[in-house]
Structure formats: C-alpha cells, structure tokens
Chains A and B, each alone.
Chain A
Amino acid sequence: MAETQFAESQTIRVRVNGQEYEREVPVRRLLADFIRHDLGLTATHLGCEHGVCGACTIIMDGESVRSCLLFAVQADGAELQTLEGLADGDDMHPLQQAFWDNHALQCGFCTSGFLMSAVDLLDKHPRPSEEEIRHGLSGNLCRCTGYANIIKAVQAVAEQSQS
C-alpha cells in the first residue's frame, strides 16, 4: 500500500444521484461548492457556510450531512444524493408533492435542505410525532414560512406511508 502523503489537490470519484463523476479538486474546496460549481448541481444552496442554516443539507451514504462542513475530497468514493436526484424524472417524490400541496415553501432557498433533512428524518423515524418533526428539522432555518406548513407536509407523508 502506498504511503499516504499530504496533497494540495486530489482526484476524487463520487456517485451523485446515480451518476459517476471523477474530478480533480483542490483539497480545500467545500463539498457544497464542488456539487454546485464543479458538477453544476445548483439545487443545493449555501446560506451560512458555518453549519447552522441547513440549506446545504444533502444525503451522503444514506445520511443527511451539511455539505458546507465537508471538503469535497472527503466524499471520495461516496454516494451522494441531492435534490436533483429526489424526483423520478418529473414525478415528484412524496415529500416534494406534499410540500407543494401544503404550501410548504415561499422563496424556495431553504427548500432543498429541508427536503433532504426530511428524507433522513423519515428514514430514521417513519412515524414521527409533531414534536419529533419539529426537533428533527430544527437544524434547518426557514425565514419565510414559519415552518407550520413544512411540518404539515412531513406529517402528511408519514401518514401516507402508514396507510
């Protein structure tokens, strides 16, 4: 095995929404910037770049993570999912549909992060109480909706999947 060395850039391979990418990146490039600018997948947004607002939340190897708190090189070999990969073509994922039906978005900037967080939340708690939804999504900030309709949308999906 070759000895690991310090490097200033690295070639990484990631699978994003089912598609393979291989790119050389400077080691300091944030995963969020890599997804947005190197791959052109701009549905993932940056709201604070210090891990508080949740707008950049994506799914990495099955779990929600803040893509502003990871370097792209750390995702080498990982499987990523962004909002672009949530729908089946133009057929919305149940969460997307529920967000539409419940007016769970206004300006839309936080929406991608909320959807990806909700995917992980429902994965971990398929039957969440309102309290669990509120706490489960409390790491995502929304400045427009006041959250009520986002919570309703997630509840609606949880109820659907039970029936």
Chain B
Amino acid sequence: MKPAPFKYARPDSVDEALALLQAGGDEAKVLAGGQSFVPLLNLRMASVESIVDLNRLDDLAYIKRDNDTLRIGAMTRHRQIEVSDEIRAAQPLLCRAAAEVGHLAIRNRGTIGGSLVHADPAAEWPLVAAVLDAQCVLRSQDNSRTIAAREFFLAPLMTAIEPNEILCEVRFPVAPVGAVWGFQELCRRPGDFAIVAIACQLTLDDGGTCSTASLAVGGAHSTPLHVAEVEPIISGSQGEAAVMTAAAEKAAAAVDPSGDVHGSADYRRRMVKVLTQRALKEAWAQKRKRALQ
C-alpha cells in the first residue's frame, strides 16, 4: 500500500523544525528515522496532514558524556549507539539493547528519539529508558522541559509529548561502580518486537551483595513498566534463588498485559516471571564473570 497524501518540510535547524511544527498545528507530525511511522503511513493505519522531517538535523545526532550523564541526541541512529565505544564504556546495557532493535537496515536508519516517541511498549528503548531512569529533554518553540522516562510513557503509542514539541535529547546515568545488568527478550524471531522483555541494573559490592536495583518490563503492560516493588526484595540480597523467585512474582503481579496473536495476556504475565529470574541471574553471572577476569 501507498501512503495517503501529506505535505512535507525538511528543516535544517531545530528552531526551524519547531516553527514548522507550531505552524502545522495538531495535524503536523515529526518524522525521525521512520522505521515504525512510515509502515503505519504505508498501511494507511495512520495519516497526517503534514510531516516535519528531522533527518537533516545533525545537531540532534550526538553522543556526549558529561561526568555521570550520557547525553544522546534524539536523532542518533540505533546502529551508532550499538557500536559506540563511549557508550559501551559508560553504559553497556544501551549497546546491548541497540543490537536487539530490528535488523541491520532498520538500525542504520531508526533513531532512539523516534523509538521513544513512538512508545511501543514492547520496544527496547522505552524499556531501557524506564529501567535506567532516563530523562527526556523536550523543546517547543517557546519552552524547554525535562521529563523522566518513567513519566513520559502514557499508553501504547502515547506519550506526554505535546504536538508542538520535539524530543531533542535523552539523558542516561552512567553505570555506577559495581553495576551489572541483565537484558532478556522473548521474541518469535530475531528482530521482532518482544513478546516480553526484561531489563535490570543492579549495583553489587565486592562480595556480590546488591545495594541498588532497578528492573523494568516491556511487552507486558500498556507502557514499559518500572517495577519499583522488586527493589527492596533484591537490595541486600546476593541473588539467592528464593529472592529471584520472589522478585519475579512481584514483577508478574505488577503487570497488566493485553494479548495478541503472539501471546495471550496470561502467557505474557507468566513470561514476566520467567524472564525476570533469567535477567537477574544474568546480572549476577556478570559479576562472577568479572571476578574471574
């Protein structure tokens, strides 16, 4: 199928883009990498009056580290994140998540900002943004604000962004000393959206005792879900089987999944439990692996 007609503009600066967006009103939409948005247009499941294409905004494609914060421009492509040495050193979970996005040609083109604003609850970036407590920097023509990723996602394909705003930057905390992580995705085929995905980041002391923990669920709730309730269970533990089971049960109880052809709500809830245990195991295994090195 072919997209319905629209008008198109390709600004050269963020200011110009914001002006166009303002002029376009509610019926103007931002086009980032387009790897989720263009299929919807082609299938005529979405139609828009006008499109503001951000792909020439080189000033939105960057990876910078300011002390304990990684600042990633919204137009940074998945592939750039996947292979960035700077990110690998600062927050390797981002590289791992980037590698799971779609396929090579999708990663070459798709952007972190586009994925966050698209807000598919099963996608990698919303999940990772939730687990790491990322901050989203939004700009409109006359305002700039920062919103926590955990508050940014409102519903499937719906976020707190206003029609006249552009997501310009995502800020991730650099992994603290002793940080380990787990990332588990259950897909039917590589590159597919997850049926369920779990990401976690723990900080462990030298003896393997957890001091802080964060865990989030993708694909099993209307938004990526940061499950704060598991943190007191995991903190202070050494990853004993009973702790992981308890955490997994807590995560499974926290989600309210809906079903589709790839997995019913019940199946998803059950997989939250299985994958939570696996993600936590993966995290502690990282610690053991490092100890051996």
Contacts and interface: CB of A to CB of B under 8 A. Distances in A.
Contact of B106 (A8, A10, A121, A139): A139
Interface string B2-32: 1111111111100010001001100000000
A4 B42 CA distance: 25
Interface residues of B, number: 37
B191 A138 contact: yes
A8 B7 contact: yes
Contacts of B1: 49
A7 interface: yes
Interface stretch (B33-41, B240-248, B284-292): B33-41
A70 B38 contact: yes
Interface in A61-103: 63-66, 68-71, 73-74, 76
Given A1-B12, A8-B7, A10-B8, A54 B105 contact: yes
A30 B38 CA distance: 10
B108 interface: yes
B155 interface: no
Given A69-B38, A138-B189, A4 B105 contact: no
B9 A74 contact: no
A47 interface: no
A152 to B, nearest CB: 19
A64 B107 CA distance: 9
B2 A4 contact: no
A74 B53 contact: yes
B266 to A, nearest CB: 27
Contact of A30 (B42, B51, B105): B42
Contacts of B11: 4
Contacts of B5: 8, 26, 28
B12 A4 contact: yes
A32 B272 CA distance: 40
B39 A57 contact: no
Contacts of A50: 39, 42-43
Contacts of B39: 50-51, 69
A136 interface: yes
A3 interface: yes
A50 B42 CA distance: 7
B50 interface: yes
A63 B50 CA distance: 28
B151 to A, nearest CB: 30
B102 interface: yes
Contacts of B108: 63-65, 120
Contacts of B147: none
B105 A139 contact: yes
Nearest to B4: A28
B157 interface: no
Contact of B7 (A7, A65, A68): A7
Interface string A111-133: 00000010011001000000000
A65 B109 contact: yes
B103 interface: yes
B106 A6 contact: no
Nearest to B190: A138
Given A54-B105, A70-B109, A136-B104, 12 more contacts: A3-B16, A4-B11, A4-B20, A28-B5, A65-B108, A66-B105, A69-B109, A73-B8, A74-B53, A120-B104, A121-B104, A139-B105
22 contacts: A3-B16, A4-B11, A6-B9, A6-B24, A28-B4, A28-B6, A30-B2, A51-B39, A57-B105, A64-B108, A65-B108, A65-B109, A66-B109, A69-B34, A69-B39, A70-B38, A74-B34, A74-B53, A117-B105, A136-B104, A139-B106, A140-B103
